[in-house]
A and B are shown apart, each in its own frame.
Chain A
Amino acid sequence: MALQPSDISSSNPTSLPWSRFAWLTMLATLLLISVGGLVTSRGAGLSVPDWPNSYGYSMYTFPISHWMGGILYEHSHRLLGVLVGVLTTVLAVGLWVRETSGRQRWLGVIVMTGVAGLLGRMGSWQVPIFITLAALAPVAMVWGLARFARDRQALRWLGVVAFAAVILQGTLGGLRVVWLADELGFVHGMLAQGFLVLICFIALLSGGWRNRVAPGSIAAPGLRRAWWLAVVLVVAQLGLGAAMRHRHAGLAVPDFPLAYGRVWPKTDATSLATYNRTRVEATAQRPIQSTDVILHMLHRSNAYLIAAIAAWLTFRTWRDAGRKTPAGRLTTVWLALVGIQIALGALTVWTGKSADIATLHMVTGALTLVVASAAAAAMARMCRVRPAFVEPYRRAGSGSPVWPG
């Protein structure tokens, strides 16, 4: 496909202050995800039955003396959600102001700060507003991504996507409580992972990361595809994990590496009855169903697949891109994370799904996705010019392929 002049922006997306602020936002998001993981691991998701209020109090004035048991985790999660919402708003507005001027600039600032200020009041009367804005958020996210796809220098559009995503995410979390909808918990958990990746990309791109990745330096399109496959497998793995967690059935298979003493456990009614009869749960958990066992085993199987592809990708990436390149370094980190993650998965089983270990497993999973996505993007940039596409440039005497940003 020929390059269009409009594809190439003259603006420079690099801004170290905003990159640092995005990293700060990412750290806050990671903390938010961690506490969210504790909420689910400890079965505390509904310990505060109302939203946006907390036991009738404003979220901001809920007495600390009431932060007991599961409330401690759930209320902390809500407050951290507000913090991430504020940081995301500042980031989105900052990127917008940096890249726009005149009426467009002020219109964007007024809209985003106005919405954030309105929602930030967190009153129960605002629930319809939350729902309306959350319904509009996916449209804004698709629109923002489409605009960014047209101009990869315009990080403000990623800021818009993040701003819409944080509204959607907060609303999903709240509605999961007041609608008693477990399935929203699954979506809430998965969107959190995507949001973390998005903020990471804003931080990387605004930090000039793109300049450090030589475009088209590797003629290995298969490697690029393999990296994206790895990302898909990690997303699937996180999805399986989120589905297991949000079914609230506890640990469906209590042994590892075998499963109920077998390579693949039985899931007939008699076996399930035995599993349920012999486990002694100390918390309120739903009885195990065949779906729980199958999800658990798919999660394990996919982990083995990811481990295999991680080993192969490491070998190929180190060989083709070098260990010292951004992609090579990310690959090293990713391989380590995959190893740690598998160990944490085993520990989760061996500790009977200890809440802290299970949460650490979930958070490491989020980091695995972030690093895999960054590595895949780096490899896509390094590999994406096919020889057949490069040749015309080379023949024309340009020497090296030209790439937009």
Chain B
Amino acid sequence: MIRTSVIVVATLAGGLAVYAAEISGKVSLKGTPPPERKIEFDAMCGKLHDKDVTTRHYVVSPDGGLANVFVYVKQAPAGKPASDKVPELDQVGCMYEPYVMGVMTNQLFKIKNSDPLMHNVHATPKATGNKEFNIGQPVKGMVKDHTFPSREVLVRFKCDVHPWMFAYVGVMDHPYFAVTDKDGKFKLPGGLPAGKYTVVAYHLKTHGTAEGLTQEIEVAEGDKREVNFTVELPGS
């Protein structure tokens, strides 16, 4: 009986995975962004790098793919996180990794210090319910678990010990979000039910307080849609 139930549930879940829509795509940059700045590490952090490191405002691949764009469905049904893996914001080489990431509301994520030196972790959210906090992580390997209760694009994290360290976490009330990779590509988690949606591509440096680029799409069950965006810089 139990075995039969497991098989039925697995079949249904598999069916949903097969028939629910999948959205992927690429965000490209058109235009010439301002040059990045070299990060002036202090002596201790400088020892952790053997080559120059720059800011990451516009990370663009040779074919124009724009990395670190937070792509999400504007309104989508709630669901479980796309992965069982606990998201992690790491401090490594006196930099935050990743630079942009996403979590769901009330989803636990880890903030870790992988450096052999002191950092503080200072989050400065603005949305009601998300509280600003500032904690010390003076020892390598320290981990802090945290959750944000409210949706917010994007929450800034910074280290005041090393002011060049900052990163961003998008908080969504559903699992349909992703961050573009180094080639500008993204893939939203599967399982989006059929319907009409607005997909948003938000690049912090380009869009600032604006919403970002949007595209209206309609997906049917089993659709595999490609949604591409082009971020255009003025004068391009």
Contacts and interface: CB of A to CB of B under 8 A. Distances in A.
Contacts of B44: 68-69
A222 B55 CA distance: 55
B32 to A, nearest CB: 11
A66 interface: yes
Interface stretch (B77-85, B163-171, B217-225): B163-171
Contacts of B45: 69
B164 A282 contact: yes
Contact of A282 (B39, B122, B134, B158): B39
Given A55-B118, A280-B34, A43 B208 contact: no
Interface in A58-111: 66, 68-71, 74
Nearest to A44: B160
A46 B160 contact: yes
A222 to B, nearest CB: 48
A66 B138 contact: yes
Interface range, A side: 20 to 34
B165 A284 contact: yes
Contacts of B163: 42-44, 69-70, 283-284
B129 interface: no
Contacts of A274: 234
11 contacts: A44-B160, A48-B120, A50-B136, A55-B118, A55-B136, A55-B138, A56-B136, A69-B162, A273-B210, A279-B34, A282-B37
A56 B137 CA distance: 11
B3 interface: no
Contacts of A71: 118, 161
A229 interface: no
Interface string A264-284: 000001001110111111111
A365 interface: no
Nearest to A181: B132
Contacts of B62: none
A68 B42 contact: yes
Contacts of A180: 132-134
Nearest to B133: A180
A44 B164 contact: no
Contact of A284 (B57, B136, B158, B209): B158
Interface in B25-41: 34-37, 39-40
Interface residues of B, number: 39
Given A47-B120, A269-B209, 13 more contacts: A45-B160, A46-B134, A49-B122, A49-B136, A66-B118, A69-B44, A69-B162, A70-B162, A273-B207, A277-B205, A282-B39, A282-B40, A284-B163
B161 A44 contact: yes
Given A42-B163, A71-B161, A284-B166, A277 B206 contact: yes
B156 interface: yes
Nearest to B156: A284
B135 interface: yes
Contacts of A279: 34
A249 to B, nearest CB: 12
A283 B164 CA distance: 4
Contacts of B234: 274, 277
Interface in B48-62: 55, 57
Contact of A49 (B117, B135, B164, B165): B135
A246 to B, nearest CB: 14
Contacts of B36: 280
Contacts of B136: 48-50, 55-56
A273 B160 CA distance: 26
A221 interface: no
B233 interface: yes
A54 B118 CA distance: 12
A208 interface: no
Interface in A286-308: 287
Contacts of A272: 208-209
Nearest to B209: A287
A277 B35 CA distance: 12
A348 B67 CA distance: 33
Contacts of A47: 120, 159-161
Contacts of A283: 163-164, 166
A46 B122 contact: yes
B40 to A, nearest CB: 7
A71 B159 CA distance: 11
A276 B205 CA distance: 7
Interface string A343-377: 00000000000000000000000000000000000
B30 to A, nearest CB: 14
Interface string A216-227: 000000000000
Given A55-B136, A273-B208, A280-B36, A68 B233 contact: no
A316 B197 CA distance: 72
Given A44-B163, A49-B134, A282 B55 contact: yes
A280 B210 CA distance: 18
Contacts of B132: 180
Contacts of B156: 284
A102 to B, nearest CB: 50
B56 to A, nearest CB: 10
A278 B34 contact: yes
Contacts of B40: 282
Given A46-B122, A280-B37, A68 B160 contact: no
A274 B160 CA distance: 27
A70 B161 contact: yes
